[in-house]
Amino acid sequence: MNRPIIQLTGISAAYDRKTVLEQIDLTVYEYDFLGVIGPNGGGKTTLMKVILGLLKPSAGEVCFFQEGKKVPEISMGYLPQYNSIDKKFPISVYEVVLSGLNKQKSLFRPFTKEQHEQVRRIISRMGLEGLEERPIGQLSGGQLQRALLGRALVSDPQVIILDEPNTYIDKRFEAKLYALLEEINRERAIILVSHDIGSVLQNVKSIACVNGTLDYHPDTEIPTEWIEEHFGCPIDLLGHGNLPHRVLKCHNHTSNLKNTEA
């Protein structure tokens, strides 16, 4: 078994007085490919914000590990939700990818030659050559997603967190995206938030279902009956391959925080 890199223990999170996540335990391993699924508003993005350190949990602990030793932080790349991106922002593909290195840049110093080379390598790996100077507002959904994936990857982080990377891309590009993610997963862990349970089950190694609480499944050998019993979230299941198309029933999480004021 690979070693843990991220460990969440007893995590709760709230906005103002509204509790969104309660008593979450989760371990992410080296070279893990964790699919995070759950209904709208279930707290998936909030969980990612807690992992990224963008939101302080109201309870619990987030620990990081490197080569089996506890460390204060690990490097993480983040691809935010498509609808959180301002497509009118006047920034080119090259600048978007380069911005993924901001944390590694010395203050008041320009980017180094090596950093620019790294940006060019990633642009080529993402299949975006020739589009370097194009403003993001003039990209297709798939091209923009690849630019954002390049931004998440350019710093060579230990884990990348992708929040709905398949939004607004067609099924043909989705297959390419998963092929690319499989390749990336040979080098680092991936946490993938997605509504598309069918694709997630086919591509990831482990599953976390988030709906206020978290239901973890260490593999994806999940029988349909198990999905019905445990994943009973009101999510559209867009089935692929052997998975049937169905809309799931009510969820079986131990608590429903939707209307709970902490």
Ligand X SMILES: Nc1ncnc2c1ncn2[C@@H]1O[C@H](COP(=O)(O)OP(=O)(O)OP(=O)(O)O)[C@@H](O)[C@H]1O
Binding footprint of ligand X on the chain (CB under 6 A):
15, 20, 38, 40-46
Task: Kindly state the tokens that stand for 80.
Answer: 């935010």
CB of 42 to ligand X, least distance (A): 4
| Closer by beta carbon to ligand X, 15 or else 226 | 15
Contact 116, 105 (CB under 8 A): no
| Closer by beta carbon to ligand X, 41 or else 137 | 41
CA distances from 113 to 109, 110, 116, 117 (A): 12, 9, 5, 6
| Closer by beta carbon to ligand X, 44 or else 151 | 44
Contact 233, 211 (CB under 8 A): yes
Task: Kindly state the tokens that stand for 39.
Answer: 């209904």
CB of 215 to ligand X, least distance (A): 14
| Closer by beta carbon to ligand X, 159 or else 193 | 193
Q: How do 189-193 and 159-163 pair as beta strands?
A: parallel
| Closer by beta carbon to ligand X, 52 or else 91 | 52
| Helices marked H in 100-170 | 113-125, 141-153
Find the distance separating the first CA and the last CA of the chain, reported in whole Å. Answer: 38
